[in-house]
């Protein structure tokens, strides 16, 4: 059903899929990967992304990205590239929409703190948590736990994974042990994430007053588009100038990605998704000069945006909230809602800690703030 005529032989194809963990009848009016996308959109974890932070905490302003709008932007970039390359669009869309489902509240500050809290209990990895959400934590269907997604969707969601965890994961963990690549749709989603991230951080960072035009012009990816836009529209106001530059930056990087990937696929001579997996390296790439610019911008944002003094305050607050919630639930599981408390009651050690981590990871920013305030009362 999803196999449109223009799909290439190396695209993921449902007829050659490794399938679902629990057998189900085929959907009548949509493809298997469309069904995956629909299940993701209907999941509870997906709806919560609207109140989860990307870089700016939700209440800092209504115009900033949240994980939901980020995921939609990733999906939009990923789908464009997938279609241009003759890949499986619904699968790409499903992976992009699900890629951040396992993120904690408060972005990376939340994730790093939860990882520290879980240090003696197997740690916390947000990619692995995204897989856990779709495999186990969503409780919506009568016949199976989780969303029972297709192998290729799950393979794409698990972007990174430690070797220790890979060993326990079975089928989707194998590629980390065998050093194989995921399908091209997963590779696209991975880079679409990085492209979306860079560009919306420029936008949000500028809006927040944490990045100036002069600073941004030191970045070649930004500067070359600035020069063009400024030459053509010398009196454009800053806000529109920034939008026009970002639009062109995305256009440039995505076009480069499509062209370079097309070249690499041809050079590798792959004919099937298994040959893509065995190719020895990812085939979805930007060209070296553009990748260089992309990475330089990412480094710049890391330095000037994420570690900005104004952000560090919120980071420290977020760390304290996550740590104190974890400590409070560890010493009294009864402080959690019954569905978590009951699960935790029959467990101990690492398994009990995992239930607490699941509960905290599922929180939105504002839910975590309220829960933390509730601890005092
Ligand atoms: Mg992301």
CATH assignment of the domain containing 97: 1.10.3210.10
User: What is the torsion angle, in degrees rounded to the nearest 10, for the CA atoms of residue 301, residue 157, residue 276 and residue 77?
Assistant: -50
Residues pairing with 150 in the sheet: 20
- The model carries a pTM of 0.95
DSSP 28: S
Give the distance (Å) from ligand 1 centre to CA of residue 78.
Answer: 12
Same domain, 365 and 234: no
CB 43 within 8 A of CB 101: yes
Report if residue 17 sits inside a domain: no
- The b-or-e profile of 4-32 (16+ CB within 10 A means b, else e) is eeebeebbbbbeebeebbeeeeeeeeebb
How deeply is 272 buried, as exposed, middle or buried, from its count of CB atoms within 10 A (0-12, 13-18, 19+)? middle
CB 141 within 8 A of CB 43: no
Report if residue 117 sits inside a domain: yes
The pair of three-digit structure tokens given for residue 232, joined into one six-digit string = 């053509």
Give the distance (Å) from ligand 1 centre to CA of residue 274.
Answer: 26
Report if residue 9 sits inside a domain: no
Q: CB within 8 A of 142, min separation 6: which ones?
A: none
Q: At what angle do helices 238-268 and 67-84 cross, to 10 degrees?
A: 50
Report if residue 70 sits inside a domain: yes
Same domain, 269 and 353: no
Give the distance (Å) from ligand 1 centre to CA of residue 99.
Answer: 6
Report if residue 6 sits inside a domain: no
Chain-centroid distance, C-alpha 120: 26
Give me the numbers of helices (H) and strands (E) for the chain, helices first please. Answer: 19, 0
Same domain, 211 and 340: no
Please state the length of the chain: 377
The pair of three-digit structure tokens given for residue 312, joined into one six-digit string = 């560090």
Closest CA to 4 of 27, 41, 30: 30
Same domain, 327 and 211: no
Give the distance (Å) from ligand 1 centre to CA of residue 89.
Answer: 18
Report if residue 186 sits inside a domain: yes
Report if residue 8 sits inside a domain: no
Report if residue 23 sits inside a domain: no
Q: At what angle do helices 184-207 and 89-98 cross, to 10 degrees?
A: 50
Per-residue pLDDT of the chain (377 residues; tens, 9 = 90+): 445 568 999 999 999 999 999 999 999 999 999 999 999 999 999 999 999 877 665 556 666 778 999 999 999 999 999 999 999 999 999 999 999 999 999 988 999 999 999 999 999 999 999 999 999 999 999 999 999 999 999 999 999 888 888 999 989 999 999 999 999 999 999 999 999 999 999 998 898 888 999 999 999 999 999 999 999 999 999 999 999 999 999 999 999 999 999 999 999 999 999 999 999 999 999 999 999 999 999 999 988 887 777 778 888 999 999 999 999 999 999 999 999 999 999 999 999 999 999 999 999 999 999 999 999 87
Give the distance (Å) from ligand 1 centre to CA of residue 70.
Answer: 7
Same domain, 71 and 132: yes
Range of the domain at 208: 28-310
- CA 100 – CA 136 distance, rounded (Å): 16
Total domains present in the chain: 2
Give the distance (Å) from ligand 1 centre to CA of residue 71.
Answer: 6
Domain boundary among 255, 279, 310: 310
């Amino acid at each position: 059903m999803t196999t449109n005529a223009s799909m290439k032989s190396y695209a993921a194809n449902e007829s050659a899929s490794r399938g679902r963990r629990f057998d189900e009848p085929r959907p009548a009016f949509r493809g298997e990967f469309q069904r995956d996308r629909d299940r993701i959109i209907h999941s509870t974890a997906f709806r919560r992304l609207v109140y989860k932070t990307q870089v700016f905490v939700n209440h800092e302003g209504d115009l900033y990205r949240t994980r939901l709008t980020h995921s939609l932007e990733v999906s939009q970039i990923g789908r464009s590239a997938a279609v241009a390359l003759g890949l499986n669009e619904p699968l790409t869309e499903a992976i992009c929409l699900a890629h951040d489902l396992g993120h904690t509240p408060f972005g990376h500050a939340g994730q790093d703190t939860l990882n520290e809290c879980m240090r003696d209990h197997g740690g916390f990895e947000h990619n692995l948590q995204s897989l856990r959400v779709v495999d186990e934590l969503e409780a919506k269907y009568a016949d199976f736990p989780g969303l029972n997604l297709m192998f290729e969707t799950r393979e794409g969601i698990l972007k990174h994974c430690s070797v220790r965890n890979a060993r326990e994961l079975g089928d989707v963990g194998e590629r980390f042990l065998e050093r194989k690549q995921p399908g091209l749709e997963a590779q696209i989603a991975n880079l679409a994430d990085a492209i979306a991230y860079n560009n919306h951080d420029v936008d949000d960072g500028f809006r927040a007053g944490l990045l100036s035009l002069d600073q941004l012009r030191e970045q070649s990816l930004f500067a070359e588009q600035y020069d063009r836009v400024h030459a053509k529209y010398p009196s454009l106001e800053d806000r529109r100038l920034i939008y026009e530059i970002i639009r062109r930056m995305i256009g440039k990087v995505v076009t480069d990605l499509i062209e370079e990937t097309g070249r690499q696929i041809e050079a590798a001579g792959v004919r099937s998704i298994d040959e893509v997996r065995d190719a020895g390296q990812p085939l979805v790439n930007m060209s070296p000069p553009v990748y260089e610019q992309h990475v330089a911008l990412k480094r710049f944002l890391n330095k000037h945006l994420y570690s900005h003094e104004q952000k560090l305050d919120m980071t420290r607050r977020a760390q304290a909230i996550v740590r104190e919630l974890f400590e409070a639930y560890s010493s009294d599981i009864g402080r959690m809602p019954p569905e978590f408390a009951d699960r935790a009651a029959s467990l101990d050690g690492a398994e009990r800690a995992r239930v607490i981590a699941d509960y905290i990871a599922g929180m939105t920013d504002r839910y975590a703030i309220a829960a933390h305030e509730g601890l005092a009362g």
